[in-house]
Chains A and B, each alone.
Chain A
């Protein structure tokens, strides 16, 4: 069964450093997402991406964040200068079709980011 994969599973970094979290969405999916989950809290939407551009982003997704689809398979989230409060689980998700309510989002296993 196809699945969303994410690497690394755990990333430890120093405050102020740049990190890149990587995701490989399901191959025939067209919509891609990043969410984050601070320990013990709910999953929060960061950004959605379709047709090689951001379609929506949350207040959390400020100028320190960026997303990219550098090739036909990878989808990355970059945090330019990490802060302590960026420590969280980051989930990538993908969806097959745009514009249809009721289209399931498949989530990856997540990357745990720890900022020291």
Chain B
């Protein structure tokens, strides 16, 4: 069956460090991937997305890398700040046009001042 999973459930970093959060997916039909940030008691907040025709996409302090060969997705956060502490989920669309998203388990990122 299709699934999206994460290698590491928790990640602790010092403020100012770069963070890398990884995600593996199994549905080769997926052509759209998103990273969401979820703070306690809130809904998922969009961070960055990438389509399958791209390998890399950069935003403000964030970069998403997509390796379709090994079905791997990563989120890089530069100069991590305490406000980045949250749970990070990757999600994929399974190649559907209706937009159903399949989420991974989530990684807890803790940034220490």
Interface residues on B, range: 20 to 34
Given contacts A43-B44, A43-B103, A91-B43, are A50 and B34 in contact (CB under 8 A)?
Answer: no
CB atoms of B97 and A44 under 8 A apart: no
Which segment of B12-20, B45-53, B66-74, B78-86 sits at the interface?
B45-53
Q: Given the complex, which residues of A lie within 8 Å of B98, measured CB to CB?
A: 31, 48, 50, 55-56, 98
Q: B95, B101, B102: which contacts A105 (Cβ < 8 A)?
A: B101
CB atoms of B34 and A100 under 8 A apart: no
Interface residues on A, range: 20 to 34
Q: Given the complex, which residues of B lie within 8 Å of A55, measured CB to CB?
A: 98
Given contacts A42-B89, A101-B93, A102-B51, are A110 and B42 in contact (CB under 8 A)?
Answer: yes
Binding site secondary structure of chain B: loop
Q: Given the complex, which residues of A lie within 8 Å of B89, measured CB to CB?
A: 42-43
B-contacting residues, A29-46, CB 8 Å: 31, 33, 35, 41-45
Given contacts A101-B93, A109-B43, are A42 and B106 in contact (CB under 8 A)?
Answer: yes
Of all chain B residues, the one with the shortest Cβ separation from A45 is B100
